Structure 1
Amino acid sequence: MSSIQDEGRLPLAVVGAGAMGREWLRMLTTSPVARVAGVVDLDLDLAAETVRAVGLGDVVIGTSVAEVAARSGARAVIDVTVPQAHRPVNEEALRAGLPVLCEKPLAPTVAEALRQVALADLTGGLLMASQSRRYLGALAAYRTAVGRLGDLATVHAQFFHEDHEPGFREQMAHPLLVDMSIHHFDQLRYVTGQEPVAVRCDSWNPAWSWFAGDASATVQIELTGGARFSYAGSRCTPGLQTSFNAEWRAYGERGAASWDGETTVVADLDGTDPKAAAGPEGIAGSLAEFVGALHSGRTPQNEVRSNVLSIAMVEGAVRSSALGGERVVIGDLLEEALAQALADERQEDVLAVLRGWTSAADGIATPAWGSAPAPIAAGGAR
């Protein structure tokens, strides 16, 4: 079983020294489970400036993941690069024997996500997506409330915000669906314990929007239990803004439950409302699960195989919108993505893994990380 046994805080290399990288580095300065050993960025001046700004001491800085890990003794990687850089960074780390916690979205397409599943299979390394909004005490309480409703009929979520984030987000073709809705779609899977069957979507960009791409959308998703998820959102809506976590309602055979996206969970069921559990939240919660998995060898939430389905929900919504709201079947999308992955992959060892799958569904159901026999050595190499 793959695991890390280490009495101290896990030494990490953080890849990406931009705004989100800075947020991770700040959190890591006080983390009880991990510490920064090195920072990787193509812009060494930016990396040095970020290290100084967050008050880190003497950490190794460089442009290569493997080189910084070797010099610093880092035994795992946090990938906080821009989305298009995730695959090459994750690949360099996994081939160097370093487990990876990667910021969402782990991949821009399902085909690229499947190639990363194959790479994780090949190396036996842990690749986990940081879907940090799963790690909220109130969300866990809401999940408990929804679980008491019995069979579900409908789940509603709405997200309306005024987001000003100059940079790549404001230039994305689908800044709502790709950058924000993936959180809410992933939360849906966590809350209901169900998987997506099909999706319909209509997306557009209001005339006043400062985003280049579609900042608004409505989405309906069919779930394996027969329920429907109804979602509406926008990133360019002044006034009456919701929580970043969206506002939620679920209706089932025994009653209903709501969550305001912050602290209030109401179960219109038996007069009792679940209470939020204490524990690390957000990226700190994601990190805690990642490190815990490395210590125990158990498979964490959002291990790459599971996270493919959250990415598929987003890609299905984008595809449906492009088709004028047509119904997109997730199973069909997965198989088309596998065909694309086979066409795109150029590395023979990864290609051999992809060719060994009977289907995409088979690929993402392969034995999860934790069953590989080779342990991670103290220096991080296999």
Structure 2
Amino acid sequence: MPEPLRLLQVGAGGMGRAWLRTISANPDVVLAGLVDLDVDLARAAADEHGYADVPVAKSIGDLVGATGAEAVIDVTVPVAHPKVSIDALRRGLPVLCEKPLAETVRECLTMVAAAEVSGQLLMVSQSRRYFRTGNAFGKQLAGLGPIGSLSCEFFKAPRFTGFRAQMAEPLLVDMAIHQFDLSRKLIGSEPVSVYCDSFNPGWSWFDGNASATAIFTFADGTRFTFTGSWCAPGLETSWNGKWRASSAQGTATWDGDNAPVAALGDGTAIPAEVGDEPEQIDGSLAEFVQAVRESAVPQAEVHTNVISIAMVEAAVRSATLGTPVRIADVLEDAYAEALATVQDDALLTTLKSWPSVQQVVGLAD
């Protein structure tokens, strides 16, 4: 058996504590150090989770040499992801970054360039890709043949405080990336365009638009419809949403939690094959370790994950303009912004070397 992968975790807040529990439960990894701008917070979090002997510090540079770290888990706030992840990559460390990769597609493209310059893996933890019943739903879809339509209903009523309550588009920006990203996995194609309408019900406790409907057209012709609200008390859906897929052969449904149900047009049931693979962030960590050890490309590798961020940005743009928006246009605009703003010579040279931003992220051949 190989030695456990030695990890530096950056971020000791609420999600950071969840990652500390995940790391402690995985025998293939070991926590080598914990980094946070608040060193006292980091020390307390480490001690609370059984890591009293693990060193803490304010920066990766303070620990990377002394700990023998081999990889980094970036669990900082989204605005810090580019700085932290790029720093780690440049130190020769592969990175598993919490979602979203960054706040803008422009920043995401800079992170793609950093991964290419460093030659290191940058993977995003899209935890909704690692639900056993969701994977079973995907297998049923494969058995139904080409999917014509896929829909997701998402209705919750969380009483958030802080930045979420004040965002202009809280549902689309902070939540919908989970469902948008999962739609790509389930359909097996890439989005081309979106029309989105967002609004805020009169009873909403959010400052911004807490409700939205988005219709995506995919390259294979599939339509994906997301409709949801963060101010919908009563009969709430799963945090994963409630899904339905239709094809010429039949239909499959998934309530977001339990085993999915599928049947052919003649009524023949398609069994749900629910496995025992690691779930949620346990699943993303397991795939990250495997990818690092085998030099493999994980399903949420940085290049392709940019498309999921572009789906969010395109939906917000569509809701603002009131017109359909092409994913390619969002990518091209972000690429032009990156070329105009990136000052690091190595990153800029790499960006300029790309034959096409759409080709680089896998949206075009």
User: Which interval holds the TM-score relative to the shorter structure?
Assistant: over 0.9
The answer to whether the 8 A contact 2:140-2:270 is kept is no
Aligned counterparts of 1:18 and 1:165: Cα–Cα separation in 2: 16
Distance in structure 2 (CA, Å) of the matches to 1:53 and 1:167: 25
* Aligned-partner SS, 2:63: helix
Q: What residue is the counterpart of 1:51 in the other structure?
A: 46
Question: What residue in structure 1 maps to residue 132 of structure 2?
Answer: 137
Aligned residue in 1 for 2:350: 353
Seen in structure 2, the aligned counterparts of structure 1 residues 31 and 66 have a Cα distance that, compared at 3 Å, is same
Q: Tell me the equivalent position of 1:119.
A: 114
How does 1:181-200 map onto structure 2 within 5 Å? 181-200=176-195
Deviations 1:52-106 (A, max 9, x none): 2223231110011122222222211110111000000011100000110000000
**2:223 counterpart residue number:** 228
TM-score by length of 1: 0.91
- Residues 1:241 and 2:239 aligned together: no
Residue 230 of structure 1: how far off its partner (Å):
1.1
Task: Write the distance in 2 (CA, Å) between the matches of 1:73 and 1:209.
Answer: 50
1:277 correspondence with 2:275: yes
Q: Which residue of 2 aligns with 1:293?
A: 291
State the shift of 1:195 in Å. Answer: 0.6
Query: 340, 343, 347: which one pairs with 1:343?
Result: 340
Aligned length: 360
Alpha-carbon distance, 1:274 to partner: 2.1
Provide the residue aligned with 1:10 in structure 2. Answer: 5
- Higher relative contact order at CA 8 Å, sep ≥6: structure 1 or structure 2? 1
Distance in structure 1 (CA, Å) of the matches to 2:37 and 2:343: 24
Quote the offset at 1:329 in angstroms: 0.6
Shift of 1:365: 4.3
Q: Which runs of 4+ in 1 moved over 4 A?
A: none
For the aligned residue pairs, the C-alpha RMSD in angstroms reads 1.4
Q: Partners of 2:34 and 2:159 in 1: how far apart?
A: 27
Task: Name the CA shift for 1:206/1:113 in 2 (closer, same or farther; >3 Å).
Answer: same
Match of 2:292, SS? Answer: helix
Match of 1:378 in 2: none
Aligned counterparts of 2:155 and 2:88: Cα–Cα separation in 1: 37
Q: Does 1:332 align with 2:341?
A: no
Q: In 2 relative to 1, CA 56–168 (structure 1 residues): closer, same or farther, beyond 3 Å?
A: farther
1:300-311 superposed matches below 5 A: 300-311=298-309
Deviates more, 1:233-242 or 1:305-314: 233-242
- Unaligned segments of structure 2, at least 5 residues: none
SS in 1 for 2:243: strand
TM-score by length of 2: 0.95
Report the 3-state secondary structure (helix = DSSP H, G, I; strand = E; otherwise coil) of the residue aligned with 1:11: strand
Q: CA deviation at 1:23?
A: 0.8
Distance between the aligned counterparts of 2:354 and 2:250, measured in 1?
Answer: 42
1:80 is matched with 75
- Partner residue of 2:313 out of 311, 315, 327: 315
Partner SS state of residue 144, structure 2? coil
Instruction: Decide whether the 8 Å contact of 2:136 with 2:259 is kept in 1.
Output: no
The 5 Å alignment of 1:243-258 reads 243-258=238-253
